[in-house]
Amino acid sequence: MNTDESKNGLNLCSDSTEQRILVGLSKISLALKSQSWQDAGQQGLSPTQAQILSLLEANGSEGMRLSAVAKGLAVTPATASDAVRVLSEKGLVQKIRSPEDGRAIAITLTPKGKSTAAETSCWSDLFLDAVGELSELEQTVFLRGLIKMILKLQDAGQIPISKMCMTCRFFQANRYPNSDRPHHCNFVDAPFGDRNLHLECPEQIAM
């Protein structure tokens, strides 16, 4: 805590700003988790099954190996395998030959799985309204801060790798330094700003 805060009598608690930010994030995370469990339950899915649908949706049409699904959700291969078996029985996912390696099996969404994934990955208006309480500038700063934290945690191996712009081979940071859309995406060949940085882009290819 800085000296000014101490002088103003604000150091009543021993926790730091960093700790309070983490407490805040954990409260939001709890609320998001509880909401997504309710949504998954309404679809007749377990939270893991719903997360697999979201992961496959974010990954685009090429599908994912079972090991990548397990890694992406930070669960064991056995847990991922069980959830994929149930999703397959429900007709939501299918196994195909991997486009990258014909001998390997990839898991992809069926058309029914795609529509279920779209429904389960919709955030409720309540959460969108809460984010809408932030001004455009606050949202941009918050998004950049989250990306910075995610990159740090990814580097430390604490969270699964996200398909983010910052680690994408199509991303050119600050190609137009004096513009309000300073970055460039070579995939769509267009400039974009910090507000449009992606955290889960189906087109992302890691550097």
In the region spanning residues 93 to 152, those forming contacts with ligand SF4, defined by CB under 6 A, are: none
Residue 167: other Cβ atoms inside 10 A: 17
Q: Which of 95, 72, 85 is nearest to 46 (CA)?
A: 85
SS3 for 94?
strand
Q: Which of 171, 160, 164, 167 is nearest to 199 (CA)?
A: 164
Contact region with ligand SF4 (CB under 6 A), list: 11-19, 42-50, 138-146, 196-204: 196-204
We find the least distance from the C-beta atom of residue 167 to ligand SF4, in angstroms, to be 8
Show the binding pattern over residues 153-172: x = contacts ligand SF4 (CB under 6 A), - = does not: ------------x--x-xx-
We find the least distance from the C-beta atom of residue 181 to ligand SF4, in angstroms, to be 12
Q: Which helix (H) or strand (E) holds 116?
A: helix 111-120
Residue pair 190/184 in contact (Cβ under 8 Å)? The answer is yes
Q: Does 56 bind ligand SF4 (CB under 6 A)?
A: no
Q: Give contact residues for ligand SF4 (rule: CB under 6 A).
A: 165, 168, 170-171, 185, 187, 198, 201, 203-204
